Structure 1
Amino acid sequence: AGFEFLDTDQFIEEHVGKSIPRIFEEHGEETFRRYEREVVVRLAERENAVIATGGGLLVDAENMDTMKQYAMVFCLWASPESIWRRVKDKSHRPLLQTENPKQRIIDLLEERKPAYGRSDMLINTEYRSARDVANLILGQFRQTTRKAK
């Protein structure tokens, strides 16, 4: 069976009718996080789905609990330097619209570390291709579901 790919940010943008930066600008982070909670509840019970989330979604313990109730949670990790290289040319990152975005990445990773530690598997993406990361997740998923049968 194939997997449906769902992106929580894309889902929010489609349902609210605004981009993530615009939501942050017009309504603030708190409203965006509320939208995330609503989306998690709607998507968590979907079967055969891969749900991509923003880095802050799982910091909310309620979101993490909901996701873990229905799914395996994989957190993708990289060094602040790698993250900066990947996002520096993308202007759609509201939390990085600061004087020192590199330091903000370091601070966010530190703040989020306890939440990321609650995931079923933390995957260092530093030296892995997207395909390698996907294969690692799929292998772990298959191994876990085999054990559960």
Structure 2
Amino acid sequence: MGAGKSTIGRLLSQELKLTYIDSDREIEDRAGADIPWIFDVEGEDGFRDREEAVIRELCERNDIVLATGGGAIQREANRTSLQASGYVVYLCTSVEQQLERTARDKNRPLLQTEDPEQVLRDLLERRDPLYRDACDLLVRTDKRHPRSVVTEIIRNYQQRI
């Protein structure tokens, strides 16, 4: 959350002349409801089931830049789909930067709590090892301009092909 997936994904897709897709927006479009509503009605497991199906389908395409929700990495099926189908970039950021970037965002159900900082620390502890294991490239985004992050991703990708 707040690492820059949407902003960097859009810029990257423009540079590479590929279609940008945000899996969270795709889930909302298909459900006809926003993510907080899906969480309220179906719980996190229901949302994660929808997310897994969407990611599996999108990973069959080869003409996209896909930004997934931050929790997608928690499911092994998602990690497998992502690793099998593309170049996986982990946009790594500090909890402090996440708090700054998400402070006014009410569309993040997991942060609607008394202590969003602790929630972010707990999520990072659980998710970071999964991100590191699944990624082809780790890029730190703290206090960086999105264009410099995109340049780094493209440079590293080109070196690998």
TM-score, normalised to structure 2's length? 0.87
2:87 counterpart residue number? 72
The higher relative CO (CA closer than 8 Å, separation ≥ 6) is in 2
1:129 counterpart residue number? 145
Contact kept, 8 Å, 1:20 with 1:92, in 2: the verdict is yes
1:52 counterpart residue number? 67
Equivalent position amino acid for 1:127 in 2: K
CA distance in 2, matches of 1:3, 1:136: 17
Of all paired residues, the percent bearing the same amino acid is 37
Equivalent position amino acid for 2:122 in 1: D
Deviating 4+ runs (over 4 angstroms): none
Matched, 1:143 2:159: yes
Query: What 5-or-longer segments of structure 2 have no aligned partner?
Result: 1-15
Equivalent position amino acid for 1:61 in 2: E
Note the C-alpha offset of 1:42: 0.7
What is the number of equivalent residue pairs in this alignment? 145
Note the C-alpha offset of 1:48: 2.6
Query: What 5-or-longer segments of structure 1 have no aligned partner?
Result: none
Note the C-alpha offset of 1:137: 1.2
Please report the RMSD computed on the Cα atoms of aligned residues, expressed in angstroms: 1.0
CA distance in 1, matches of 2:26, 2:146: 22
Note the C-alpha offset of 1:127: 2.6
1:17 counterpart residue number? 32
Deviations 1:21-50 (A, max 9, x none): 110011110010001110111100211311
Equivalent position amino acid for 1:81 in 2: E
1:91 counterpart residue number? 106
